């Protein structure tokens, strides 16, 4: 049977930390760690909306993801210097935005925009899942700020869902939870699962990296993701006790 290099059980998360109020600026500011992966999630509560939403009575939630140039073992050129954003950055930004938008009732939010900046300070696999999990806390903090400052009347009407995300994958035919980079790069199948705390799915993105996967494997992966997200929901909730 496959033994993980870091000795974790197949269904065990890495050490997870979520720190609120990490920065002075930002209506929500969260440093989230999934093991060595560290992402700074900063929520900006913008009382104006993008032009195309003006007078719609609805709000918006969006996200921008980016990695520091030396978040990885190798230094990557800055996208600002290259003059364009890469496909991976675009893809992940959109996933985070969609996932967190699903948490919010945009009509109840009214004409305001929440921007969640997810800057990866250190990358060791699972950066998009950490961004969503930490981003939800930053989002909640920004909405609490909005409530305190009179932009929102009833926060429960606005924040309809609790959201978290985790990666799962198959390595040496063993389904495993929360893959660090070294497992991720060897996995046969790789899946990111975004869940709501009602146990339902917000987004499922599964990719056969080296081998196609069947329905049974898919179900095992989803079981693992349910377990992992369950723990993440508890950790999120502990922050507000």
Q: Exactly one of 61, 100, 139, 222 binds a copy of itself (CB under 8 A); which one?
A: 222
Q: Exactly one of 17, 47, 57, 78 binds a copy of itself (CB under 8 A); which one?
A: 78
| Distance (Å, whole) CA 204 – CA 219 | 12
Give me the least distance between CB of 203 and a copy of itself, in Å please.
Answer: 5
Interface with a copy of itself by CB under 8 A: which range of 9-17, 128-136, 144-152, 192-200?
192-200
User: Phi/psi zone of residue 199: left (φ > 0), alpha (ψ -120 to 50 degrees), beta?
Assistant: left
Q: How many residues are recorded in the chain?
A: 241
Interface with a copy of itself by CB under 8 A: which range of 4-12, 51-59, 196-204, 231-239?
196-204
User: Among 180, 178, 176, 174, which Cα is nearest to 165's?
Assistant: 178
The three-state secondary structure class of 73 is coil
Interface with a copy of itself by CB under 8 A: which range of 3-11, 47-55, 85-93, 164-172?
85-93
DSSP line for 123-181: -SS-HHHHHHHHHHHHHHHHHHHHHHTTS-S-HHHHB---EEEEEEEEETTEEEES--H
Any contact of residue 165 with a copy of itself (CB under 8 A)? Answer: no
Determine phi and psi for 107, rounding to 5 degrees.
-65, -45
| Distance (Å, whole) CA 57 – CA 174 | 49
Interface with a copy of itself by CB under 8 A: which range of 5-13, 69-77, 169-177, 229-237?
69-77
User: Among 73, 214, 59, which Cα is nearest to 146's?
Assistant: 59
Q: Exactly one of 55, 214, 238, 241 binds a copy of itself (CB under 8 A); which one?
A: 214
Interacting positions 31-50 with a copy of itself (CB under 8 A): 36, 40, 42, 44, 46
Task: State the angle between helix axes of 215-238 and 127-148 in degrees (0 to 180), rounded to the nearest 10.
Answer: 40
- Find the distance separating the first CA and the last CA of the chain, reported in whole Å: 40
Q: Exactly one of 72, 105, 174, 220 binds a copy of itself (CB under 8 A); which one?
A: 72
Q: Exactly one of 53, 144, 218, 235 binds a copy of itself (CB under 8 A); which one?
A: 218
Q: Quote the distance between the C-alpha of residue 148 and its chain's center.
A: 25
| Distance (Å, whole) CA 95 – CA 203 | 8
Q: Exactly one of 88, 148, 153, 234 binds a copy of itself (CB under 8 A); which one?
A: 88
Interacting positions 116-145 with a copy of itself (CB under 8 A): 117, 119, 121-122, 124
Any contact of residue 230 with a copy of itself (CB under 8 A)? Answer: no
Q: Binding residues for a copy of itself, per CB under 8 A? A: 23-26, 29, 36, 40, 42, 44, 46, 64, 66, 68-73, 75, 78-91, 93-94, 98, 102, 115, 117, 119, 121-122, 124, 161, 191, 196, 198-208, 212-215, 218-219, 222
């Amino acid at each position: 049977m496959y033994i993980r290099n870091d000795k974790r059980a197949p269904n065990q998360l890495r050490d997870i930390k979520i720190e609120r109020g990490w920065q002075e600026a930002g209506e929500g500011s969260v440093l989230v760690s999934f093991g060595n992966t560290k992402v700074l999630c900063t929520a900006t509560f913008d009382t104006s909306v993008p032009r195309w939403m003006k007078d719609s009575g609805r709000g918006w939630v969006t996200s921008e993801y980016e990695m520091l140039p030396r978040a990885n073992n190798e230094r990557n050129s800055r996208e600002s210097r290259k003059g364009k954003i890469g496909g991976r950055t675009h893809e992940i930004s959109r996933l985070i935005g969609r996932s967190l938008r699903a948490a919010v009732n945009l009509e109840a939010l009214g004409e305001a925009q929440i921007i969640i900046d997810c800057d990866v300070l250190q990358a060791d696999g699972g950066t998009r899942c950490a961004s969503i999990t930490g981003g939800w806390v930053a989002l909640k903090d920004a909405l609490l700020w909005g409530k305190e400052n009179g932009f929102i009347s009833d926060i429960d009407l606005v924040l309809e869902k609790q959201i978290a995300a985790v990666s799962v994958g198959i390595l040496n035919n063993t389904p495993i939870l929360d893959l660090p980079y070294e497992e991720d790069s060897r996995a046969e199948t790789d899946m990111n699962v975004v869940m709501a705390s009602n146990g339902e799915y917000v987004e499922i993105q599964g990719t056969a990296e080296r081998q196609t996967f069947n329905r049974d494997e898919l179900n095992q992966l989803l079981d693992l993701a349910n377990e992992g997200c369950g723990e993440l929901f508890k950790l999120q909730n502990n922050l507000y006790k």
